[in-house]
Amino acid sequence: MEQDYSRMAVLNTIAEQKLLPLFYHPDPEVGKDVLKACYRGGGRLLEFVNRGAFAHEVFAQLSRYARQELPGMMLGVGSVTDAATASLYMNLGAAFVVSASLREDIAKVCNRRKVPYFPGCGSLTEIGRAEELGCEIVKLFPGGVYGPGFVKAVLGPQPWTRIMPTGGVAPSAESLNAWMEAGAACVGMGSKLISKALVAEQQFDELEERVRATLALLQP
């Protein structure tokens, strides 16, 4: 499948919005409601977490829905562990690929398709290798373990590095300001933004407002 969005379009959007929400739900209809709420709140990026059997089938339905109903919404996939899985999701329309650790095989297949790859990195060595493999943004995971100080320290000798902390990031002014002031390029946010309670209670208007408020906090 030809990608709807170019590599540069995805990178420019994440640089502008500075927020990558992530979620998983086995019911594609619930997933559509989450997608729509994020979209109405101004979000144009969403990471679907590859979790459990048949997750790719759920993603396929969400990908078609986004194409048909949500112009400009870039849907990607996270928790990818190998090149074959990355290729499967790219064939289903994934606009970007995320992993918890650095995988060179994933970097290569994503580069071949000109699809952004955001690998999880936890050291200068891993970050450097990811950049050599063409990764424009690296995921700092789990962000709460490393803290904003890690980002600031890395950017001292490597001001060109773009880091996306994920895990331990909250949709509050205090948390977001700490990461942004340290030099984070963007943040990834899962259950603290798209909480299980909101989804279970179908409070999608509240989710929409939470996304809108979080995006506003991230703008200079």
Q: What is the pLDDT along the chain (220 residues), one digit of tens a residue?
A: 556 899 999 999 999 999 999 999 999 999 999 999 999 999 999 999 999 889 999 999 999 999 999 999 999 999 999 999 999 999 999 999 999 999 999 999 999 999 999 999 999 999 999 999 999 999 999 999 999 999 999 999 999 999 999 999 999 999 999 999 999 999 999 999 999 999 999 999 999 999 999 999 999 8
Residue 49: what pLDDT? 98
- Tokens coding 167: 């895990």
Domains, the chain, ranges and CATH?
A: 7-218 (3.20.20.70)
Helix (H, G, I), strand (E, B) or coil at 45: strand
Which CA distances in Å does 200 have to 189, 195, 204? 18, 9, 10
CA gap 99, 104 in Å, rounded:
11
β-partners of residue 164 are 139
Contact predicate 189/38, CB 8 Å: no
Q: Give the model's pLDDT for residue 2.
A: 58
